[in-house]
Amino acid sequence: MSLALRRRRVLSALPLAALLPPVLLSACAGSPARTPSPDLLAAHVSPDYNGVVLLRASRGGAPLVRAYGQAEFETPAPLLPDSRFMIGSVSKWITAVTVLRLAEQGKLDLDKPVTAWLPELPAGSGAVTLRALLSNTSGIENGLGLALKQDRAVERLTIPASEAALRFGSGALRFAPGAQFDYSPTNWLIVAGAIERATGEPFIRNVERLVLAPSGAHDTGFVVLDATPAGLAAPYEANRARRKMMPAPPMVAASGTLYSTARDLVKIADAVYGNALLKPASRQELLTVQYAAEDYALGGRVKRAGSGAAVRTLAWETGVSGGFKTLLAYAPADGRVVVLLNNTDMAQSEQARLGLALLEALAP
């Protein structure tokens, strides 16, 4: 057994209490509701920032939401607190929540071979579990990436996820499942295909029914190719002179075609880490790192920030879609949250730095 796989199994066996510092566990019992001061934003957010920022000091507290700059520079049209943004790979985390809900219903199993639902895949894929796919450690060749190199028209294919899974996910294993990390969209084609086979419903319908609707996330949905939802900001290069777009074929919905708002992302996180959507064991799965070198759990990262008694565990969800950059940093123990939505190709390292600084400033 590989070292990475042994490490993953050890981490998976840890109870949630072992992942959360005592100071944060005590905060679960209830923290005083505080509304962040606008001065906090003024101290940390550059006047040149273009996007939406949401801060909340604790679960149950009122959020502070501010919009900065332009939704479109050609018009120009200002951003609003409830402007919509593409959220890129934050979609993967929402897909993982969908899988966990179906696992609770007995329709999926994280540790069964994916061939239980997609038996047409090669025999070698029988070693690949949903857990490996959700943690980007499946080892399956990135067939979608290879196809796109040969023919960019693949970007505009409109085929069901289950068909895409078989068409692009039938390559050989490049490494043993769990041994390496490969941030491949093909993993997510296969996940979506398994969901469709397990439920008999389109992937998108499953996400809407199992996650978005019960969370009350009414400003969140999927972008399909050339259809632009009302209120969606336009994405730009960092110099703001040209738009930076990314195609959104339906088959890659599981890995990155959702749009949302800052408030909706908090609604979803509250539902996920509260009691509305998932059982405690499923929430623990979301907070259990599967590949330590990348801090990667299921569909997103888990980070520990701060030092000493102020250390906190964070669900750290990031996304890139053309010029859109997204950060949802959420402390499950007390509901402290920072959401950063940007549409001018902000460097992810700078977005992370700002997110951590704001979280630190929110500390009581």
Per-residue pLDDT tens over the stretch 262-271? 999 999 999 9
Asked whether residue 325 carries a pLDDT value surpassing 70, the answer given is yes
Kindly tell me if the per-residue pLDDT of 336 is higher than 90. Answer: yes
Q: Are 193 and 162 in contact (CB under 8 A)?
A: yes
pLDDT, position 33: 64
pLDDT in tens, 277-322: 999 999 999 999 999 999 999 999 999 987 666 678 999 999 999 9
User: What is the fold of 3-362?
Assistant: Beta-lactamase (3.40.710)
Share of the chain above pLDDT 90, in %: 81
- Work out the average pLDDT over 72-91: 97
For 139-180, what is each residue's pLDDT tens digit? 999 999 999 999 999 988 889 999 999 999 999 999 999 999
pTM of the model: 0.90
pLDDT of residue 305: 83
- What integer is the mean pLDDT of 329-343? 97
Question: Mean pLDDT over residues 107-119, rounded?
Answer: 98
Confidence label for 22 from pLDDT (cuts 50, 70 and 90): very low
Q: What mean pLDDT do residues 330-336 have?
A: 95
- The reported pLDDT for the residue numbered 311 is 75
CB 230 within 8 Å of CB 241: no
**Rg, the chain, Cα only:** 20
Distance CA 70, CA 328 (A): 21
pLDDT recorded at residue 79: 98
pLDDT of residue 226: 75
Is 229's pLDDT higher than 90?
yes
**pLDDT band at residue 20, thresholds of 50, 70 and 90?**
very low
CA separation for the pair 305, 21 (Å, rounded): 11
Report the Cα 21 to chain-centroid distance in Å.
Answer: 24
Burial 181-197 (b: 16+ CB within 10 A, else e): beebbbbbbbbbbbbbb
Distance between CA atoms of residues 294 and 7, nearest Å: 13
pLDDT attached to residue 250: 85
pLDDT for 238? 97
Q: What is the mean pLDDT of the chain?
A: 90
Label each residue of 139-156 as H, E or C: CECCHHHHHHHHCHHHHH
- Residue 15 above 50 pLDDT? no
As a dihedral over the C-alpha atoms of residue 252, residue 255, residue 261, residue 265, rounded to 10 degrees, the angle is 140
List pLDDT tens digits, range 169-215. Answer: 999 999 999 999 999 999 999 999 999 999 999 999 999 999 999 99
Indicate whether 2 pLDDT > 70: no
pLDDT band at 32 (very low <50, low <70, confident <90, very high): low
Over 70: is that where the pLDDT of 91 sits?
yes
Task: Calculate what percentage of the chain has a pLDDT beyond 70.
Answer: 90
pLDDT digits (tens, 9 = 90+) for 238-248: 999 999 998 87
CB atoms inside a 10 Å sphere around CB 128: 25
